[in-house]
Amino acid sequence: MKIQKPYTNQQYAELAIYCNQNNCHIEDKETYLESVANPPAPELTYAQKRVAEYPDMAEYLDAMVKINSGDETFVQAGQTQLATYIADCLAVKTKYPKN
């Protein structure tokens, strides 16, 4: 009598590859399906975390254009915008320091 496996050979192969790549041990089909459907997010480096949270460079460029416009109203707005941009960048650097 041949024992029926709960998975096809292809599914077992995929499971083995997944487990080898992700250093996991899977007990049953539900655990397998859950781990495939919701794989753990990779750990980001501090640099990747910084890039994701830095303010948009367009804010810096816009501030510089305003500062160099010659119009005092624009200059003041640009200086405020630049100060905010710098503060936001420094906050990200503090939140994710270099290792």
What is the length of the chain?
99
Task: Give the H/E segment covering residue 58.
Answer: helix 57-67
Cα(34)–Cα(57) distance, rounded to whole angstroms?
Answer: 39
Let me know: does 80 contact 62? Beta carbons within 8 Å.
no
Query: Residue 2's pLDDT is what?
Result: 45
Let me know: does 80 contact 64? Beta carbons within 8 Å.
no
| Least confidently predicted of 7-11, 76-80, 92-96 | 7-11
Confidence check: pLDDT of 95 > 90: yes
pLDDT, tens only, 3-59:
445 666 677 677 777 777 887 765 666 766 676 677 777 888 989 999 999 999 999
Query: Residue 3's pLDDT is what?
Result: 42
| Segment 66-75 mean pLDDT | 97
